[in-house]
Chain A
Amino acid sequence: SLRYMLGRGVKRKLSDYDESMAAGLPGPFDSSPALPYPQQRQLVLNMCLRKLQSCCLKVEPSLHRSVLLSNTLRQIQGEMLNEDCNTSPLAVQSDRNAYSVDTSPYIGGNPPATPAHIPDLPPLPLYSQAEEANLMTMPSDNGMSSTVSSHVRVSGFMKDMSPPPAFPSWAENEELDFFSSSSSSSEDEGNDHPAGSRSLDSLFGSFEIPNSTSYLTDLAFDDIFEDIDTSMYDSSDFTSVLSFTAPRSSVSPSEDSLKPFSTCSSLSTNGIQICVTDLNDLDHIMEILVES
């Protein structure tokens, strides 16, 4: 079994978690305390991102956990940002043992000297059911876009050093096209936040019924009913969502836009399996039924 070893870029398999829980704590971090501070921080950042992205549950993810994770992420990002701005004061620090009050919160850490390695962000993960729900009820909602933008934001945050965002920029633009001020936070009517800062919405937004007021005023009457379907699990939801997104984007939807949908739609939604590949058949059947 492969273990996550810093510097080797090999990720721990999910099954290893169970082993490590039963057998103790073989964590690389804890067993090699001599790891330089930037690598320690990088390790924690990677884990943070991984945990935030892996909320693929049929139940609502815990808000408590999401808040703690995002606070940790913010703290690390803030620190890295400060380092970008103030490389000189930190490089001057030579005291290897001392706890540094100002910017290095970790005891015994070496002062960061080199730019941090930015991990390749993983491909868009399987959706949480919450985001699927947002997609179904409000096709233009930030379900996918905000996760996208959260990646964009994080990678953009470290934009000087990062590889280009994993997703086409049309995804971000698309979000702006759909809705100007609506968001998943229902009281948030006046705030036009930039498309990039939606990362938390995807975590916290599942708890809120999206405020449909601004959504309604933005769209034409017909558009409103184009997507809202009376049957929650009608497969036509997916077709309508897919067809809805397709014409709007300035670039014809590449595989990238459809891939996440096929990934998430192949998840068993409480026993209901909907396969994108079956949709064409289903369409055909529906046509026959309706006409008969």
Chain B
Amino acid sequence: MAGGGGNDVQWCFSQVKGAIDDDVAEADIISTVEFNHSGELLATGDKGGRVVIFQQEPENKSQPQCRGEYNVYSTFQSHEPEFDYLKSLEIEEKINKIRWLPQKNAAQFLLSTNDKTIKLWKISERDKRPEGYNLKEEDGRYRDPTTVTTLRVPVFRPMDLMVEASPRRVFANAHTYHINSISVNSDYETYLSADDLRVNLWHLEITDRSFNIVDIKPANMEELTEVITAAEFHPNQCNTFVYSSSKGTIRLCDMRASALCDKHSKLFEEPEDPSNRSFFSEIISSISDVKFSHNGRYMMTRDYLSVKIWDLNMESRPVETYQVHEYLRSKLCSLYENDCIFDKFECCWNGNDSVVMTGSYNNFFRMFDRGQKKDVTLEASRESSKPRAVLKPRKVCGGGKRKKDEISVDSLDFNKKILHTAWHPQENIIAVATTNNLYIFQDKLN
């Protein structure tokens, strides 16, 4: 599994974050994971509306074989639970997505969103503070002006590093339905937000209005059969974005064509395989995530059972298809019964677009090497959590005779699902979120 070069990569455990006990607090469930553009920062959002940012320690010169560890850099409450009085419904504070802005100055900026509201957060460091005020004592009390006999210029003195997060913009009241995606444009001035039926375009500086660029709401809601599931801007072309649907289609739109992009420029859809048809065909074709490759030539989609790579120049079918857990195809009814069939798995590319990764059940996650046509199944578990321990590939036995070290389908734990994964933009470092733990793995450096 190469990140570059032809050697097989061996993945090692690096760190795990989060509580150890099996009793998971609902608020601690991780709902999104995202590296920033340099990979130095790793942000997670959880169901309790909190954002935790980890920062990578600078490499230790005396231990060049170890990459820096990620330690907590900042924690803040991004969203609070709200109440919609008009509909008498709660609005969950769960963070659906986090997207980093590229760094322009000393501060870092990220967008975080729940179902209804997007917020722009500024994370800045403070390591100096002014001392020597004329009118205030060191503890802040005001001095009696009559006792001041001399004047001095306050000076900055070093202090313990303090990381502050402050909300700079709140983008609210633009979505009737649940926001599923946000994506920053390559112009670094605008971004899009998508809910079940609409996609809106925002300017980062302007919070009191947004442009609706896609609207698939039918005039009669009775006729609704399809919803938007994900949307993303093209990494290089600031006029291009895609959105995926619950029917397994992806539409590519050009904002130069018209103000309302209801008419797509391209429609990507693979014809259904009639031999695989079942009651659940539509449900499993629903796309849960769409991601452009870093070079902008491809996009990847995730549906319930597979990962597909599409060439943006070919709409008729994907150029590559990878089966994530085909052994579940004969179990679809049970998965429908326990609602697992509605799970939304995400997917991600590595830095040079040669490998893709996605999660599965039983805390398994899968990697597909596009160049070498190899795939591997790994597990994020406390058992294989010794420092620098190499992860052993796992294998699921679909039916028939189970070999040693294989796991049979019926003993998979469907409560343990890996929905969110992220890959460092340059290095072979990955972040994998189980229900309430964040695992960091890296490739073995010799």
Contact = CB atoms under 8 A, between A and B. Distances in A.
Contacts of A10: none
B266 to A, nearest CB: 23
Interface in A190-213: 191, 193, 197, 200-201, 204-209
Contacts of B276: 107
A185 B220 contact: yes
B410 A68 contact: no
B224 A106 contact: no
A71 B339 CA distance: 16
Contacts of A63: 177-178, 196-197, 227
A65 interface: yes
A51 B224 CA distance: 18
Interface stretch (A127-135, A240-248, A253-261, A273-281): A127-135
Contacts of B415: 18, 21-22
A185 B222 contact: yes
Interface string A94-129: 000001010001110000000000000000000001
A76 B220 CA distance: 22
Interface stretch (B138-146, B329-337, B429-437): B329-337
Contacts of A93: none
Given A22-B415, A191-B220, A71 B225 contact: yes
Interface in A15-48: 17-18, 20-27, 29-30, 33, 40-41, 43-44, 47
A205 B275 CA distance: 36
Interface in B67-101: 83, 85-92
B333 A204 contact: no
A75 interface: yes
B278 interface: yes
Given A22-B415, A206-B89, A207-B177, A64 B229 contact: yes
B305 to A, nearest CB: 15
Contacts of B221: 184-185, 188, 200-201, 204-205, 208
Given A99-B277, A270-B90, A21 B219 contact: no
Contact of A209 (B86, B229, B342, B413): B86
23 contacts: A21-B413, A24-B409, A25-B414, A27-B334, A29-B333, A30-B334, A60-B115, A62-B342, A63-B177, A63-B178, A63-B197, A68-B246, A75-B282, A99-B274, A99-B275, A107-B277, A129-B87, A130-B87, A130-B88, A188-B221, A191-B220, A193-B222, A201-B222
Given A21-B413, A27-B334, A71-B225, 4 more contacts: A20-B338, A24-B412, A63-B178, A184-B221
Interface of B: 83, 85-92, 115, 176-178, 180, 196-197, 219-222, 224-227, 229, 246, 274-283, 286, 330-340, 342, 409-415
Interface of A: 12, 17-18, 20-27, 29-30, 33, 40-41, 43-44, 47, 51, 58-60, 62-65, 67-68, 71-72, 75-76, 99, 101, 105-107, 129-130, 132-133, 136-137, 184-185, 187-188, 191, 193, 197, 200-201, 204-209, 232, 269-270
